[in-house]
Amino acid sequence: MMGTFEYYSWDIMEPISYLMMYGNFNLSFLFYLGVKRDLEAVNVHTILQTRFAQKAARKAGIDID
């Protein structure tokens, strides 16, 4: 709202908001293509937790398999 009413006009903010929405959609779709899970906080947390655990195990010399 600050961008629309204080700093710029709607003519400038409309393409910015459209491009932000379009970029968010593309990043979410790329995430889904790469991970095959929906972009939800639980899924992202699980993925990051698994990656950090695997990295720590590899660093400690533990074979996860």
Q: Write the pLDDT tens digit of every residue in 6-35.
A: 888 888 989 999 999 999 999 989 988 988
In the structure encoding, which two tokens stand for residue 48, read together? 């990051």
Task: Specify if 65 maps to a domain.
Answer: no
Residue 55 within a domain: yes
Of 61 and 65, the structure prediction assigns the larger pLDDT to: 61
3/33 Cα distance (integer angstroms) = 33
Domain that holds residue 41: 2-60
Q: Is the dihedral of CA 33, 35, 63, 52 positive or negative?
A: positive
Q: Is residue 38 part of a domain?
A: yes
Separation CA 43–CA 51 (nearest Å): 12
Number of structural domains (the chain) is 1
Confidence of residue 1 (pLDDT cuts 50, 70, 90): confident
Tell me whether residue 46 is in a domain: yes
pTM of the model: 0.60
Sequence-distant (6+) residues with CB within 8 A of 60 are none
> What's the pLDDT score for residue 44?
86
Whole-number Cα distances in Å, 31 to 4, 6, 28: 31, 35, 5
